[in-house]
Chains A and B, each alone.
Chain A
């Protein structure tokens, strides 16, 4: 009988200076093997310069049922966005 190997989520940094971005997942027995497989699977075309792997069970996600309390309160703060402010003529970029 074969035991299930854990699922890992894979994050790639495409170029230096960019954030790591989630690209998918894979099965591996431990983080080391997950890194090797991630290298073999997700950067076959040199898509990245750095890899993170995280066991899927260690990711804690917000629930949709929390949507109202998590995100709606952010909707009423337009002043947090630069576009909220009108600039006088002559000031182009700020």
Chain B
């Protein structure tokens, strides 16, 4: 295309999607050898592998314009340069917390990536097409878990409801449109997040209600990830994730 400004915008957009997937994938890795059953350990790894794969595709794409490799982007940026949603960087919590986050995100991603399949940017469209297939499976799994946890025991219901309450204030960020995404939307490249909100809310409300779980009435919300303003948790995650590349700079692994 040769449109430098547009290329930069697309790269920034890809970076956001890549960072979401990378940071979330990293959190899923923390369940390794720690899941409630061996079968579930395997299942979580499958989801984690999907996220890591998606992160690599998106970061490679962003890196083409930015002149950096996927690994330079993943391992050599500080938290202020990360563009992920706050939701995905929160510590993994208990199984209920992780599964509620997964479910809320899955329902969103199902809508988001279905839309992104029609992007005028071929690479983003291709990434979306692959992702939709994965997310369909993720959503089926996490929705089933909402049923099992919500309609399981008193304890599981309470833990799951508590997770929803804790996570709900991070939801608005999923639907935030800033200047960049609005401009890309007009170019037929990005997804209109605002437009997804009511459908997402209806689906989530109905699904959770059928599992004896409620949408909380809360008066707080936090945003900032897209601008590089993060919770304190991200820095610690990066400290761990980036250790080798930082301690032994410039080497092949």
Contacts and interface: CB of A to CB of B under 8 A. Distances in A.
Physical contact A–B (CB less than 8 Å): yes
Interface string A39-60: 1110010000000000000000
Contacts of A32: 144
Contact of B42 (A29, A33, A40): A40
A36 B144 CA distance: 10
B39 A28 contact: yes
Main secondary structure of the interface of A (DSSP, over half): helix
A26 B140 CA distance: 20
B144 A27 contact: no
A65 to B, nearest CB: 35
A37 B42 CA distance: 8
B141 interface: yes
Interface string B57-73: 00000000000000000
A39 B140 CA distance: 13
B37 interface: yes
Contacts of B140: 36
Interface residues of B, number: 10
Contact of A41 (B39, B141, B148): B39
Interface string A20-34: 000000111100110
Contact of A27 (B37, B43, B141, B148): B37
Interface string B23-49: 000000000000001010011001000
A37 B46 CA distance: 10
A34 to B, nearest CB: 9
Contacts of B37: 27
A36 B141 CA distance: 8
Interface in A55-92: none
A40 B144 contact: no
A92 B43 CA distance: 52
Contacts of A26: 39
Contacts of A36: 43, 140-141, 144
B144 A37 contact: no
Given A33-B144, A41-B39, 8 more contacts: A26-B39, A27-B37, A27-B39, A32-B144, A36-B43, A36-B141, A36-B144, A40-B43
Interface of A: 26-29, 32-33, 36-37, 39-41, 44
